[in-house]
Amino acid sequence: MRNEVRSLRAGRDLSQQQLGEAMGVSRQTINSIEKERYTPSLPLAIALARYFDRPVEEIFHVDH
Partner 1 sequence: MSTTDRLVRTRWWLPAVSLLLGAIMFAAFAIGGETADGAQSFAVMAALAALFFFGSRRSETLGGLGGPARDERWEMIDLRATALAGMVLIAVVIGAFLYEIASGEDGSPYSQLGAIAGVAYVLAIAAGRLRS
Which residues sit at the interface with partner 1, rule CB under 8 A?
Answer: 23-26, 28-29, 32, 38, 40-41, 43-44, 47
Q: Which is nearer to partner 1, 1 or 44 (CB)?
A: 44
Compare residues 37 and 64 and give the one whose CB is closer to partner 1.
37
Least distance from partner 1 to the Cβ atom of residue 17, Å: 12
Distance CA(26)–CA(61), nearest Å, equals 22
What is the dihedral sign for C-alpha 42, 27, 55, 36?
negative
Shortest distance in whole angstroms from residue 38 CB to partner 1: 5
3-class state of residue 30 by DSSP: helix
Q: SS3 for 58? A: helix
